[in-house]
Amino acid sequence: MKQYNAIKAKHPDALLLFRVGDFYETFHDDAVKTANILGIVLTKRANGAASEMHLAGFPYHALDTYLPKLVRAGQRVAICKQLEDPKRVKTIVKRGVTEMVTPGVAFTDKILEHKSNNFLAAVYLADKEHAIAFADVSTGEFLVGHGNLDYIEKLLQNFSPTEVIYQRGKRKDFENNFGAQFYSYPVDDWVFAYDYTYETLTRHFQTNSLKGFGIDEMQEDIIAAGAVLHYLQQMQQENLKHINSVARIEEEKYLWLDRFTIRNLELVSSPHEKAKTLLEVIDRTITPMGSRLLKRWILLPLKLLKPIEERHDVVDYFIKHTELTDALIKILKLIGDLERLVSRLAIKKVSPRELVQLKKSLSQIAPLKKILSSLSNKNLIALGAALNDCEQAINLIEATLSDDAGVALNKGNFIKSGFNQELDDLRSISTSGKDYLLKIQARESERTGISSLKVAYNNVFGYYIEVTHTHKDKVPVEWQRKQTLANAERYITPELKEYEEKILGAEEKILAIELQLFNELINDVSTFIHPVQSNANIIARIDCLLSYAAIAVSNNYVKPQVTDSFNLSIKDGRHPVLEKQMPLGEEYVANDVYLDSSTQQIIMITGPNMSGKSALLRQTALIVLLAQIGCFVPAKSAEIGLVDKIFTRVGASDNISSGESTFMVEMNETASILNNISERSLILLDEIGRGTSTYDGISIAWAIAEFLHGHTSRPKTLFATHYHELNEMEGSFARIKNYSVSIKRSREQNFVFKKAGERWKRA
């Protein structure tokens, strides 16, 4: 307990799993938490009232089962292992914390989601501009960005980190700005010192400066990134070679989606049960890397024309070459999660089976490279040229490991026969020794006339001869009795002991040599971490673009024309999610939308409930977003002038816990829009002003529409409303147009909808 208390004092905030023999034990308050979370028995031990304590534990081999439950419950777990072999130590075995596992620092597959990143974030709250850094130790991704509080909150929403660290002295500021929606942990303020974090980063990357990463002059970014690395190192993560660069999240490259818009458009998640998200509709990716990248593409749409066009061109090429896509899909199905495999390699927690999986995945790079290099699309040729076939790494694993290598290192038998002569010789001794034991059994059975005699083994006294009581009078005098059972006696002989030493000695040496050879292999293959990560990124990009092509073909999407203009023209546009949820046999009613900054800047849409006003707003935003992530769109045709910001104010909600009514939430979100608009903004407003009285609501909606119309930026706006009084604005404001949805009941008792000036359309 003295040893336990000393280790616990170093990790007071963590739940300490203390290895004792074949169990991980917890004590005192840790035991109470563990028992409650895991549903295991809580016991007490007492040597008098003063030393009474709670205990709870589980077998050491069940760690992979119980650890994920503890981490998902928001616990920081310190794993304390025995650092010495108990057989060779006469005093108390030396113990120490070998790993810290928290929600944001985890490698276990049972904790991680294959289709999602597991980001740890560091938020640095400064006086003016703030910064945030994200690191996923399971993939090696390391990103950093800076901006105002709204931008930091947007990035937190986009990347959804499982753990956020921040300055201990800024606890109140952090909680006031970001609430309790993320699992967070305060870190000492000195960790966020510029000099310390700069040195931490340059030491880790082994560089003299940070100019090569484009952040050398960005003090806040450096502090946030350095704090992340410091925290990882504190979590006993010393092998971080796979985190070999840091990339800036460049705000100027990506379309702005605030947290309200991400929520309202249900891009990657939905608060509604059984609701489908845009991600679910367009995700046809094959690899885990591709799925994770697609989610990031959706949340960070592009706003630069060239990279958007490059993605569209590749998707178009895939659609026109179905044999190519079939061949690529076949290859991608054979590639595993390269990012996470190579990360486990970097921290030296990779199993023999995982290295064999890495070899099989890398073996697909050469045929993939060959296919891409033979194509006529310059973007795909460039991707193929950037692939590294990692032939040397493949050969190393192929030469060293058996194809059927297992997961457990302590069971051995994963090094290939013929790789090491000494190992082969010892294996021969081990195998022939066991054969010899069978010969001893047959010989002694014949010599003594004991037909049921058998040679067996246990951990107490090694190899022995077992004879039933029926034949014990036939036992030779030179045999030494070691144990009496209910039905038999057990004996040993000098000959058995001699062969036992040979066999067991050989088995111990075999395991030691296999472990040594495996560690050497890990070190050799670790030199390919960066090329493998680069391959993983390229494969993820190809996977996403193949997913776009597949969805375009199956859902009848078209290639949008994205331009530098300020116009938005969509012909027969459809809602990509709603159209997939239509009853069988019913078609989605397509709609046209046209917006520009000179003639039709604002469209007022009026009509009854359930007539599709909100759907039209959302589908317009989703079509623009799909176009700017490089995907084809659900429409007959679409010409989209680049949009740099999408704002939405849809749906009624309140925030009672923070003292905000539905009306207050609506006004705050609307104010955020009006304070951030630009000439390329797309604004979607759904029934603004409904959270208050009709008279006040109309006044607010009118004032907002008038403000948007008079704003120098002339942002494109769709405004859905029940206030028909707003129709009068069309006569007073040049760039406001009104479209209404009428309704009647047909003979078949179906509702039929009509947009002003158009033919009747069945719903």
| pLDDT given at position 318 | 96
Is the separation of the CB atoms in 546 and 328 below 8 Å? yes
Averaged pLDDT score across all residues of the chain: 87
What is the pTM assigned to this prediction?
Answer: 0.85
Tell me whether residue 395 is in a domain: no
Calculate the CA dihedral of residues 437, 443, 448, 449 and round it to 10 degrees.
110
Q: Kindly state whether residues 18 and 35 are assigned to the same domain.
A: yes
Q: Please report, for the domain that includes residue 457, its CATH number.
A: 1.10.1420.10
Helices 352-362 and 338-346 meet at what angle, rounded to 10? 130
3-state secondary structure of 142: strand
Tell me whether residue 564 is in a domain: yes
Tell me whether residue 370 is in a domain: yes
Tell me whether residue 411 is in a domain: no
pLDDT level of residue 51 (50, 70, 90 thresholds): low
3-state secondary structure of 660: strand
What is the mean pLDDT of the segment spanning 722-745?
78
One DSSP character per residue, 577-608 reads TGGGGSPTTPPP--EEEEE-SSS-SEEEEE--
Laid out side by side, the sheet with 462-468 consists of 454-458, 462-468, 488-492, 480-484
Q: Kindly state whether residues 729 and 580 are assigned to the same domain.
A: yes
Burial class (CB in 10 A: 0-12, 13-18, 19+), 308: buried
Query: Lowest-pLDDT range, 196-210, 253-267, 740-754?
Result: 740-754
Q: What is the pLDDT of residues 476-515, one digit of tens each?
A: 888 888 888 888 899 888 888 887 777 777 878 888 899 9
| pLDDT given at position 47 | 60
Tell me whether residue 191 is in a domain: yes
Helices 662-674 and 694-710 meet at what angle, rounded to 10? 10
pLDDT level of residue 289 (50, 70, 90 thresholds): very high
The distance of Cα 660 from the centroid of its chain, to the nearest Å, equals 33
The whole-angstrom separation of Cα 654 and Cα 692 is 13
Range of the domain at 299: 260-389+528-549
Burial class (CB in 10 A: 0-12, 13-18, 19+), 596: middle
What is the mean pLDDT of the segment spanning 207-218?
90
Q: Kindly state whether residues 532 and 584 are assigned to the same domain.
A: no
pLDDT level of residue 230 (50, 70, 90 thresholds): very high
Q: Kindly state whether residues 425 and 326 are assigned to the same domain.
A: no
Listed in sequence order, the residues at least 6 apart from 350 whose beta carbon sits closer than 8 Å to its beta carbon are: 341, 344, 358, 522
Q: Kindly state whether residues 706 and 583 are assigned to the same domain.
A: yes
Q: Kindly state whether residues 504 and 533 are assigned to the same domain.
A: no
Is the separation of the CB atoms in 305 and 564 below 8 Å? yes
DSSP label at residue 42 = P
Query: Lowest-pLDDT range, 328-337, 636-645, 738-747?
Result: 738-747
Tell me whether residue 747 is in a domain: yes
pLDDT level of residue 412 (50, 70, 90 thresholds): confident
Q: Kindly state whether residues 630 and 646 are assigned to the same domain.
A: yes
End residue of a domain, out of 249, 279, 297: 249
Q: Kindly state whether residues 58 and 166 are assigned to the same domain.
A: no
End residue of a domain, out of 101, 130, 156: 101
Residue-level length of the chain:
763
Q: Kindly state whether residues 538 and 571 are assigned to the same domain.
A: no
pLDDT > 70? residue 34: yes
Q: What is the pLDDT of residues 451-466, one digit of tens each?
A: 888 888 887 778 888 9
Query: Which residue did the predictor score with more confidence, 108 or 737?
Result: 737
Q: What is the pLDDT of residues 571-618, one digit of tens each?
A: 999 999 999 888 887 788 888 999 998 999 999 888 777 767 888 899
Strand partners, 96: 81
The whole-angstrom separation of Cα 444 and Cα 452 is 11
Query: Lowest-pLDDT range, 124-138, 209-223, 400-414?
Result: 400-414
Burial class (CB in 10 A: 0-12, 13-18, 19+), 307: middle
Is the separation of the CB atoms in 323 and 100 below 8 Å? no
Q: Please report, for the domain that includes residue 675, its CATH number.
A: 3.40.50.300
Work out how many domains the chain is built from and give that number.
5
What is the mean pLDDT of the segment spanning 196-225?
92
Q: Please report, for the domain that includes residue 70, its CATH number.
A: 3.40.1170.10
The whole-angstrom separation of Cα 356 and Cα 614 is 52
Is the separation of the CB atoms in 515 and 521 below 8 Å? no
